[in-house]
Structure 1
Amino acid sequence: MYEFLMDEFYQRMDGVKLDAFGILDSQNRIHTLGTDSKIIGRIFEMFAQPVLAEIAAAHGMLLETPESQTVYPDFILMKDRASREKIAVDVKTTYVDSDQSTIKFTLGSYGSYMRNNTKNIQYRYTDYAKHFVIGFVYRRNGAAQESLVYDYQDREQILFPYYDVRYFIQEKYKIAGDRPGSGNTENIGSFPTRNLEDLKEGRGPFSELGADVFDLYWKYYPKYRSGEKSYTTLREFLEWIPRQGNQLSLLHPYDHEKLMAGIEAYKKRHI
């Protein structure tokens, strides 16, 4: 029932020009952006927002942004604020140096709302039925400079700070890997690939295992400063989880026997 979001995002993004000259001030002067990744990430988020607003309006839904910029997610689609079937949408951005570069994203915290339901998240984690990621991949234009000022009529002289922009939308668990996004943070990393189609099609390891296994894996993944680490890879997790019996809990009910049967089937195919 949520396929409409992916289908319509691609339809409505088709033809959208993702170039930005810079910031227009009250004197009709444009301040160039430079290649700061945080600024460029925010620019792509701004391009995505009206597209999501159109999709929400077409389906009689609200589009909301959190009260704080530091909480998950970037955008929320919902029938109303009491809904327990909200859709979370996070916008992620990364750059590559060449077609052979590995594409890497960080996909949000595994040490907060996935464990206690309310930390660093708008509403409760259990209020969301789906979690999507919109990912933008681009190449940096090293010739672009930041903080240059152009009159509006001279805007065509501005060098855009990025090019070769590609994007995808996919459920988070389908693009997640089994390692943190970096060595000293408690962020989920995407699975490594050089092919954007792998992310667009959601070919990560949890795509086969399912969203509940993804939630269990990252709920119990050892924190960065944890002295005892029960597992740090998917292979280790798949050996660890049968020894836990029926003792592992999620914030929502799940079918333990069905989950374990799926894990055993996965192990026979891949291990």
Structure 2
Amino acid sequence: MSKLSNSGIKEKFSNSLSVFVERMKEYVSTDNGEWSVKGFIDIYRNIYTISSDTKIVSKILEVHLFPLILQFAEEHKYFIVLAEHQNWYPDLSFVSKDNPDIKFAVDFKTTYRDIGSPGHVNGFTLGSHGTYFKNRTSTKNIQFPYDEYSGHFCLGIIYTRSDVKNIDETQIINVKELDDKHAANLQINQRRVHKVESLRSITSVIKDFQFFVCEKWRLASDRQGSGNTANIGSITFIEDILQGRGIFSKLGEDWFDEYWMNYGLTTMKRKGTTIRITRLEDFIDFKGGDTNLIVPLITKKRIKEEL
């Protein structure tokens, strides 16, 4: 497939998915912007509050949205291949029914607004820059070889965490409108079940959703995303995320690929000392590129200082 034709197919997929996610906010939100998922329910119709732990919230959001994702795939003549293992990339592989050579990688990315740094999110990772990223024909920890995908996308969800003071994560709730007489006097672990009038009166652990679709290279920073693991870090300024205005967005995807394939491996001399290159400016300068095309990161530190 030529680069020109691949670009057109990728743009069409991106545009279609971007239009589609506009429907997701209504699907997951109540009228006042809270998450419509209130908790887990047992056979006695007791509601168990969801933890605000980001991993739990992210997984439930994925499950909640999956019927819509299937609908999108059907409308646009794709079938979905789920990652065979939990740590494999990507979460979803969209494979064209008309031409199975056309594949798109889509990863769910959820993150919350950082109250301590207005305008920023907590951040997220954009996949590994390890084996399958460096060796584009590898099948290690990836559903299909990296080069087989026509594009790599993030389906992102930004949300606000509700005030934890209003949420008891150990609480068990019985909802009057569900009319369950069996649970009226039930105690679990010597804790009496709390009664409320309606499901809507239960405070959701998250609220105020923003959805976005973007190619992952446009959201990348030049920093690793988590500890010692080989994950690509993201930008955190919300407006830049929504516009796909990451550090590589003017340089292009080829620079993104080359930088992260060589992250921490390429070395250079500085003041007589050999150092590993882990900054985009150093890498572009080392390769003789135009450093003026680097989009400056709007960092949390800068925002705090300006305030």
TM-score (norm 2): 0.72
User: Deviations 1:28-61 (Å, cap 9, x if unpaired)?
Assistant: 3221102111111112212332222111101111
Aligned to 1:127: 148
Q: CA 1:37–1:269 in structure 2 vs 1: closer, same or farther (change >3 Å)? A: closer
Aligned to 1:209: 251
Counterparts of 2:200 and 2:21, CA distance in 1: 28
For 1:192, what is the secondary structure of its paired residue? coil
Q: CA 1:230–1:240 in structure 2 vs 1: closer, same or farther (change >3 Å)? A: farther
User: Deviations 1:224-271 (Å, cap 9, x if unpaired)?
Assistant: xxxx753111101102224xxxxxxxxxxxxxxxxxxxx44xx35569
Counterparts of 1:81 and 1:25, CA distance in 2: 43
The question of 1:111 aligning with 2:130 is answered: yes
Contact 2:25-2:210 at 8 Å conserved across structures: no
Stretch moving more, 74-83 or 111-120: 74-83
Q: Map 1:1-271; keep pairs closer than 5 Å.
A: 1=9, 2-18=13-29, 19=35, 20-80=37-97, 83-98=100-115, 100=118, 102-103=120-121, 104-116=123-135, 117-141=138-162, 142=164, 143-152=166-175, 153=178, 154=196, 155-193=199-237, 196-222=238-264, 230-242=276-288, 263-264=289-290, 267-268=291-292
**Structure 1 runs of 4+ with >4 Å offset:** 268-271
Aligned to 1:253: none
Structure 1 unmatched ranges of 5 or more = 243-262
**Equivalent position amino acid for 1:4 in 2:** N
Aligned to 1:250: none
Contact 2:126-2:233 at 8 Å conserved across structures: yes
Percent identity (aligned): 35
Greater radius of gyration (CA): 2
* Cα RMSD (Å): 2.4
**Equivalent position amino acid for 2:236 in 1:** P
Counterparts of 2:253 and 2:230, CA distance in 1: 19
For 2:151, what is the secondary structure of its paired residue? strand
Counterparts of 1:14 and 1:139, CA distance in 2: 13
Contact 1:74-1:90 at 8 Å conserved across structures: yes
Structure 2 unmatched ranges of 5 or more = 1-8, 30-34, 179-195, 266-273, 296-307
The count of aligned residue pairs is 243
For 1:146, what is the secondary structure of its paired residue? coil
Q: CA 1:192–1:91 in structure 2 vs 1: closer, same or farther (change >3 Å)? A: same
User: Deviations 1:189-220 (Å, cap 9, x if unpaired)?
Assistant: 11232xx2311210112221111211111111
**Equivalent position amino acid for 2:142 in 1:** I
Counterparts of 2:74 and 2:246, CA distance in 1: 31
Counterparts of 2:126 and 2:248, CA distance in 1: 14
Counterparts of 2:222 and 2:239, CA distance in 1: 19
Stretch moving more, 10-19 or 118-127: 10-19
Aligned to 1:255: none
For 1:207, what is the secondary structure of its paired residue? coil
TM-score (norm 1): 0.80
